[in-house]
A = this chain, B = another copy of it.
Amino acid sequence: MGRPRKSLLDQKRIAATALEIVDETGDFTMPELARRLGVQTASLYHHVDGRSGVVELLRARIGEEMPEDYSPDGQHWETALRELGRLYRASFAAHPHLVPLLTGQPVRAPKVLVVYERIVTLMESAGFPLSMIMTAFTAFENFLIGSALDLAAPEVMWEIPDDIQTPRLAAALAAQPGGRSRADQAFEFGLDLLIDGYRRVLDSTARSEG
């Protein structure tokens, strides 16, 4: 209604529509995205740097689902990593199909790079050796990504058909918490193990330097 079409095609709308397609179909193509936006594919390229540019918009958008005031500055590293872990897991769990797209190309989104800068600064201040920081944080992220997919998974994740004999699995399943607690408890268990491990690494680094 009187609004020129081109104002409708901004990066925010492109990201929102691409995310819709990914959530529904598992991936997106540029022609699909253009069709759903009601524009020519060529027009899309005036607004984004190709398909990988759209994926970076999606990466930034997922980052925005974290509270805007999230900042690890001034927090103890353990508190900051636990809080980041919980937010990260929840944001990715809402869009499981997006996960392989984001892990499949390099991080270039400025807003997201700034979050990594803060994390590296935090870990460096805590005493992690510089050469270990990306390795240690990537291990943590790997756990968060898997935990996000598990949070998006069904509450009952193993269904044993009547004709299959797996009695110890059945007993272990009966002994685990039900509902959403299944995934939450596994996440908290792994989070504790990893944070404990980081503390030990830090302690032994401090001892060898002291």
Contacts and interface: CB of A to CB of B under 8 A. Distances in A.
Given A99-B99, A114-B164, A117-B168, 17 more contacts: A26-B101, A27-B27, A96-B104, A99-B149, A103-B153, A108-B160, A116-B158, A116-B169, A120-B169, A124-B168, A132-B189, A134-B172, A135-B176, A135-B182, A138-B182, A139-B147, A139-B189
Nearest to A138: B186
A79 interface: no
Given A103-B96, A166-B114, A171-B130, A108 B152 contact: no
Interface of A: prevailing SS? helix
A187 interface: yes
B106 A189 contact: no
A102 B174 CA distance: 22
A43 interface: no
A104 B96 CA distance: 8
A100 interface: yes
Interface residues of A, number: 77
A145 B89 CA distance: 14
Contacts of A25: 26-27
